[in-house]
Structure 1
Amino acid sequence: MIKRRRGFTLIEMTIVLFIISLLVLIILPNLNGQRRHAQHIHGGAMLTVVQGQVTAYLDDHEGAKTVSFQELKAAKYLTPQQVTQAKREGIHIKDDQAIHESK
């Protein structure tokens, strides 16, 4: 009797590796695009948070015309982490508006 070995042939393994490499080539560019999209959405959300806190601060302090990140942090309108993230995102406060500077 002839015993047959069970297992994969070299051709079968080559085909599997080829399919996996094709999937990787398709998925990786999409991941980078999704990451950039998520960063853009996060930047917009951070801008909205900062603008909301600037508006709330100016409403609560009627004599104030402008505000800075330090004042918002000291008055606990923003956490230190939010201030750090906003600066990292390129958000600045000019007069009573939060603006996002392009990098």
Structure 2
Amino acid sequence: MKKIRNVFKHIKNKKQSFTLIEMAIVLFIISLLMLLILPNLNNQRKKAENTQAEAMVSVIQTQVDLYENDNDDKNVTYSELLSKKYLTEKQIKKAQEFGIKINGSNVSK
């Protein structure tokens, strides 16, 4: 009877913990999930930047068209659009970061 009590005490006092193998498996699963998620985030970021660049081209083309309707000048530049307040400095800076060029009356990336 004493032996059975000692066994139960020993089992009762033994603390539950994770084994090294269980921890390794958890870390492996987490790393697999990271490998799946990170490339997808990168692709989404690139897609968002491309969408933003296309929208910026559209905005600048619209402003160039408006400038040409108001003025007879067909050689539009960023400085003219800025001075006549068709675009802001922030918009011009962002357009130049995207590599957007104004060629006469056409805007391209």
Instruction: Report the TM-score when normalising by structure 1.
Output: 0.89
The 1-side partners of 2:20 and 2:68 are apart by: 71
Aligned residues: 99
State whether structure 2 residue 56 is matched by structure 1 residue 46. yes
Among 72, 76, 81, the residue aligned to 2:90: 81
The residue number in structure 2 matching 1:58 is: 68
The aligned runs of 1:1-103 (5 Å cut-off) are: 1-2=9-10, 3-61=13-71, 63-100=72-109
Structure 1 residues without counterparts, runs of 5 or longer: none
Task: Say which structure is richer in helix.
Answer: 2
The 2-side partners of 1:65 and 1:43 are apart by: 24
Instruction: Report the TM-score when normalising by structure 2.
Output: 0.84
The 2-side partners of 1:80 and 1:9 are apart by: 60
After superposition, what is the alpha-carbon deviation per residue over 1:58-101, rounded to whole angstroms, capped at 9, x for unaligned?
1122x22221000001111111011111111111111111111x
Computing the radius of gyration over CA atoms, which structure comes out larger, 1 or 2?
A: 2
Report the RMSD for the aligned CA atoms in angstroms.
1.1
* C-alpha deviation, 1:30, in angstroms: 1.1
Identical pairs, percent? 46
The 2-side partners of 1:16 and 1:76 are apart by: 58
Q: Which runs of 4+ in 1 moved over 3 A?
A: none
* C-alpha deviation, 1:56, in angstroms: 1.1
* C-alpha deviation, 1:17, in angstroms: 0.3
